[in-house]
Amino acid sequence: MTSDTHNRREIRSFVKREGRLTPGQQRALDNHWPEFGIEDDTDLSNLDELFGRPAPKVIEIGFGNGSSLIEMAINQPECDFIGIEVHRPGVGQLLKAINDNQLRNVRVACTDAVALIKHRITDSSLSRVQIFFPDPWHKKRHNKRRIIQSEFVNVLADKIQSGGHLHLATDWEDYAVQMLADVSENTRFINTSSDNSYIERPKYRPLTKFEQRGHLLGHGVWDLLFKKK
């Protein structure tokens, strides 16, 4: 008999909203997904082979429309980036930007990030994982859906190499407090903040339009940067 634990579905940290694709986004999906897209059966056991070179590997979970990811890929050509997003218009927008900027150091997945990282990424293979402004699931009864939870932090500790980093950012203070607690309790991570709390936004993380609007409204943003031992 199969156990209830085995049958229990994992809680998802996202709601898949298809949205309407613009003609440009649809063309990008049609024309550029075959080259830059990561299919469910793509072998991710050797990321150097995927990109055709040895280089630090960075995964961004939930890249939105991809504008900040593209800026980082342009500014950090020495790194290879994998963006994971479930919103297809955002995927199409990123693919268009990859082609427009003639980038070779970005690949895209449109799938459940937790499952991809947990089951398809080799341990100690990532230089950095970045999760910027994830869905805060702000209603208390929905907090369990937040992507940053102790269990997933432990998975990330497996996948990030020694000396690598986990970079988180949110504009919800209670989520920032929870993130700080959940990552700090994992003994494999060291907080890079001088007071074991939050850091100023690193220069490599672009300031988004969403974030700029928040600043004008007096909203706070909390960045957390942890180093893997």
pTM of this structure: 0.91
* Three-state SS sequence of 129-174: EEEECCCCCCCHHHHHHCCCCHHHHHHHHHHEEEEEEEEEEECCHH
Q: 3-class SS at 185?
A: coil
Counting the structural domains of the chain, the total is 1
Residue 185 is part of which domain span?
A: 25-228
Residues 125-144 have pLDDT tens digits of: 999 999 999 999 888 886 89
User: Domain for residue 4, yes or no?
Assistant: no
Q: Looking at the domain assignment, is residue 8 inside a domain?
A: no
Is 5 within the bounds of a domain? no
Residue 65 resides in a domain: yes
135 belongs to an annotated ligand binding site: yes
In a domain, 60, yes or no: yes
- CA pseudo-torsion sign 55, 82, 211, 135: negative
Residues serving a catalytic function are 135
Identify the bridge partners of residue 132 per DSSP, sorted by sequence position: 169
Quick check: is 211 in a domain?
yes
Question: Has 2 been labeled as part of a binding site?
Answer: no
Count of residues in the chain: 229
pLDDT single digits (tens) 196-212:
999 999 999 999 877 88
Q: How far is Cα 196 from Cα 105, in angstroms, rounded to an integer?
A: 33
- CATH number, domain at 160? 3.40.50.150
Nearest to 26 by CA among 96, 111, 123, 124: 96
pLDDT digits (tens, 9 = 90+) for 32-44: 999 999 999 999 9
- Establish if 15 belongs to a structural domain: no
209 is in an annotated binding site: yes
